[in-house]
Protein backbone atom coordinates (compact mmCIF):
# COMPACT_ATOMS: atom_id res chain seq x y z
CA UNK A 1 0.00 0.00 0.00
CA UNK A 2 0.93 3.62 -0.49
CA UNK A 3 0.14 6.33 2.03
CA UNK A 4 -0.97 9.65 0.57
CA UNK A 5 -1.78 12.46 3.00
CA UNK A 6 -2.32 9.88 5.71
CA UNK A 7 -4.66 7.65 3.67
CA UNK A 8 -3.77 4.15 2.51
CA UNK A 9 -4.17 3.86 -1.26
CA UNK A 10 -3.58 1.00 -3.69
CA UNK A 11 -1.83 3.08 -6.35
CA UNK A 12 1.70 1.66 -6.59
CA UNK A 13 2.94 1.57 -10.18
CA UNK A 14 1.10 4.73 -11.27
CA UNK A 15 2.84 7.79 -12.59
CA UNK A 16 2.85 10.39 -9.81
CA UNK A 17 1.83 13.37 -11.95
CA UNK A 18 -0.99 11.40 -13.60
CA UNK A 19 -2.23 10.28 -10.20
CA UNK A 20 -2.23 13.84 -8.82
CA UNK A 21 -4.24 15.12 -11.76
CA UNK A 22 -6.73 12.25 -11.62
CA UNK A 23 -7.21 12.69 -7.89
CA UNK A 24 -8.08 16.37 -8.37
CA UNK A 25 -4.89 18.09 -7.21
CA UNK A 26 -3.51 21.07 -9.10
CA UNK A 27 0.14 20.17 -9.71
CA UNK A 28 1.14 23.82 -10.20
CA UNK A 29 -0.29 24.70 -6.78
CA UNK A 30 1.11 21.85 -4.68
CA UNK A 31 4.42 20.71 -3.35
CA UNK A 32 5.01 16.98 -3.02
CA UNK A 33 7.13 15.16 -0.48
CA UNK A 34 7.88 11.48 -0.96
CA UNK A 35 9.45 9.54 1.91
CA UNK A 36 10.50 12.86 3.45
CA UNK A 37 12.20 13.99 0.26
CA UNK A 38 10.90 17.11 -1.48
CA UNK A 39 10.21 16.53 -5.16
CA UNK A 40 10.86 19.17 -7.80
CA UNK A 41 7.65 19.99 -9.67
CA UNK A 42 9.29 19.28 -13.01
CA UNK A 43 10.20 15.76 -11.86
CA UNK A 44 6.65 14.70 -10.92
CA UNK A 45 5.95 13.37 -14.41
CA UNK A 46 8.92 11.05 -14.37
CA UNK A 47 8.28 9.44 -11.00
CA UNK A 48 6.50 6.13 -10.51
CA UNK A 49 4.71 5.60 -7.21
CA UNK A 50 6.21 2.62 -5.42
CA UNK A 51 4.85 0.20 -2.87
CA UNK A 52 5.27 1.48 0.73
CA UNK A 53 5.79 5.09 -0.39
CA UNK A 54 4.64 7.77 2.02
CA UNK A 55 3.61 10.83 0.07
CA UNK A 56 2.49 14.23 1.29
CA UNK A 57 0.75 16.60 -1.12
CA UNK A 58 0.65 20.09 0.34
CA UNK A 59 -0.68 23.49 -0.60
CA UNK A 60 -0.83 27.00 0.79
CA UNK A 61 -3.91 27.99 2.73
CA UNK A 62 -4.98 31.02 4.71
CA UNK A 63 -2.90 31.44 7.84
CA UNK A 64 -1.48 34.00 10.18
Q: Which residue, 10 or 40, has its beta carbon nearer to other proteins?
A: 40
Residues 5-64 that bind other proteins (CB under 8 A): 5-6, 23-26, 29-31, 33, 36, 38, 40-41, 56-64
Specify the DSSP element, H or E, that contains 2: strand 2-4
* Minimal distance, residue 50 CB to other proteins, in Å: 21
Among candidates 16, 63, 62, which has minimal Cα distance to 41? 16
Which residues does 27 contact at the CB level (< 8 Å), separation at least 6?
17, 20, 21, 41, 44
Binding stretches for other proteins (CB under 8 A): 5-6, 23-26, 29-31, 33, 36, 38, 40-41, 56-64
Amino acid sequence: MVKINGKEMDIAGQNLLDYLKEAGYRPERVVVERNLEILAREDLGSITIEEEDTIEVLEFMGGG
